[in-house]
A and B are shown apart, each in its own frame.
Chain A
Amino acid sequence: MVSRSQAVVAAAGVCALAGSFFSKGDFASSLIIWVAVNVLMTASFRFVLLIGELNFAMAGFVGIGAYAAGMATTMYKLPFALSLLLGAAAAGLISLVVGFVTLRAKGPYFLLISFAFTEVLRLIYTRMDVIGGNSGMIGIFPPAYLARFYPTLVVFITIVFLFVLYRLERSAFGKILVAIRNNDELVQTVGIDVHMTKVWCLGIASFVTGVCGALLAHANNVISPGDFSFLVAVYTLAYLKVGGESHILGAVLGAIVLTLLAQYALGFGAYEHIFYGAAIVIGVLVLPDGLYGLLQRMLPGLRRPASPGN
């Protein structure tokens, strides 16, 4: 039996796909891709928040996914699907190693470590001439037969992974993650290997993040170390704070609303900083539950009996 809210969500997904398929114009295409990738990044960032960690290393994994896929396409001339897979796999595998070492730290310490990790990666990219160093890698194009449908493909992949993350969250695995956030020592006493569970959580989220990076690389055709600074995680945090952490749809909502607003209302440059900064500040001070929380209060039908965020 499909509940009313699930039907609404499914309908929205179909509309998004149709919209991206029939959209005309380069600007609309790049906007759709940008929104979709932001949605997916926010959702994967939120996935790690389930264990209570702010994953500021995310920008680093987006970069790994982007560079790996970029190298696969431009230097080794691999088919597109394989490049995507390689990008995601590289991000996921490396995150497993990094997570194994760093997830021993918690909370603010993990935050600072992941922040440092992102910066180290970014600096390493600037020194590696084989991937273009500071000037970046150019010429990353999706195959010609996909060019017309690229936005639709991106939206499709986004929806698929959103669904995967959602099911994972509501499965037993997801419940363990939330339990770890609430009290990890208690979970340890039940016999679950808390550390490895956290590592796997990071690995899954980073796999998805790697997909985002690979998609971005082929959409922008140019990637450079500046694309993967910690600002990426900051903007994603803005999307999440404004959209609402308690439900995956909050991530979707926040990313869509802020990305579109930023584009249409304010252009970029200094205003981009002001906009995102204000969004975070307002989100934290005024809307602790985000837009989704606001919607929940206004539409009682959306209320769920046991949301993971609360």
Chain B
Amino acid sequence: MMRNFRNALLVAIGALAFGAAPGANAQETLKLGISAPMSGAAAVWGLGMEWISKQAAQSINDAGGVKVGGKTYKFEVVAYDNKYNAAEGTKVAQTLLNRDDCRYIIGGIGTAPVQAMQSLSERKGAIMFTTAWGMSIKGPKFPLTFTQINTPYEVIPPLYSYIKKHNPSIKTVAILNPNDATGKETEAVSRKIWESIGVKVLSSDWYERGTTEFQSIAAKMVGQKPDVIDLGVAPPGDSGVIFKEYKVLGWNGVKVVPAGTSAESMMKIGGDAVEGVYMGLSADFDGAQATPVQRKLNVGMKAAVGEPINVIQIGGYDAVMALKAAMEAANSVEPKAIAAVLPNIVFDTSYGKTAFGGKDSYGSAQHMLVPAIVSQVKGGKLVELERLIPEELTKRLAAAKK
């Protein structure tokens, strides 16, 4: 009996040793980092991105992981709160890049914290996908930085021209933005485009993130009697409150939020004051134009975070997909090799097949080509008005088919 027991023990130990030994099918875990606001007015962006990226990683891991150079890798998503400011963004950057030795950042929200991270990530040779809006983030100076959503340059022109076409009598606009890099870069573009379509900019105001009482600013803006109010990149936590203040003061003109993402958040906070708001970064991920993947994710997101998906969050999913495709195409997990290959491949994302482009606008092909969507809150629901597929993408997809 003892002999049987001893044999069994030996076999067990042997099996354990064999399983634990490094071999051809060894697994390694790659950490994917996220730096996003997870508290405050923009919390829904960060919390949602974390959830959806974990979904992407999970689906890849379940399907067998990423196979590169004979080894299999699993993805693990690690997210930290950057509170939408540069000071926390720096700390997050140091934790992710120095302490956690993370070499792939799949989500960075907030131009200021992302800029803080960028100087470190470029120096350490880590690849970064960001949904930050600044034009200054991309370009040949930052070879390892890629964006996975549209920025003011793709979003604002179709949005404003649609609004002008359907509201031909508008002549004046008052702009409000948070006082930081994201706000400043967007305001410059907003101003230019409004003026170019013949709408005069009456005023451009700034508020500090974290403000809770907006009565004074609202009074100031409404006092000028603008036809349009443009809330720039104000996150849903703020825009809902601000629109409510306008309604209290009796203003009822054309409302626009170019970086408007979450109709439901805004409606929860602003009630019927947000009826009719035009948004540039929203999409109906339940509707006819959404892909089956997006619809399934939408159901999960509503259960996890309490709201449907928005364009910023889905960037996390798409970045993970892009990363996997690039790793396999380059047959390497080195960030520099991945970065070299990304502009050339066509890969699967939640939208279907897409690619990186944008060389003409930014100097190098680091911008993920996704549709620009104009939508509006109508009758308490989000309605998609227009969805534009970038020309460059159509050409690339056609070329890939050949």
Q: Which residues of A contact B (CB under 8 A)?
A: 25-27, 30, 126, 129, 133-136, 138-139, 220-227, 263, 267-269
Contacts and interface: CB of A to CB of B under 8 A. Distances in A.
Given A226-B85, A268-B95, A134 B181 contact: yes
A162 B208 CA distance: 38
A27 B98 contact: yes
A268 B94 CA distance: 11
B80 A269 contact: yes
B313 interface: no
Contact of A30 (B94, B116, B179, B180): B94
18 contacts: A26-B124, A27-B94, A30-B94, A133-B180, A134-B208, A135-B115, A135-B180, A136-B112, A136-B116, A138-B116, A139-B119, A220-B90, A222-B86, A222-B90, A223-B86, A224-B86, A226-B87, A268-B80
A226 B86 contact: yes
Contacts of A135: 86, 111-112, 115, 180-181, 184
B112 A224 contact: yes
Interface of B: 80-81, 85-91, 94-95, 97-99, 111-112, 115-116, 119-120, 124, 179-181, 184, 208-209
A224 B208 CA distance: 14
Interface of B is mostly: helix
A268 B91 contact: yes
A134 to B, nearest CB: 4
Contacts of A139: 119
A157 B273 CA distance: 58
B119 A222 contact: yes
Contacts of A223: 86
Nearest to A269: B81
Contacts of B209: 134
A138 B112 CA distance: 10
Contacts of B91: 268
Contacts of A129: 184
Contacts of A25: 98
A138 B119 contact: yes
B119 A136 contact: no
A126 B112 contact: no
A30 B120 CA distance: 12
A26 B87 contact: no
B95 A126 contact: no
B178 to A, nearest CB: 8
Given A26-B124, A30-B94, A135-B180, A222 B115 contact: yes
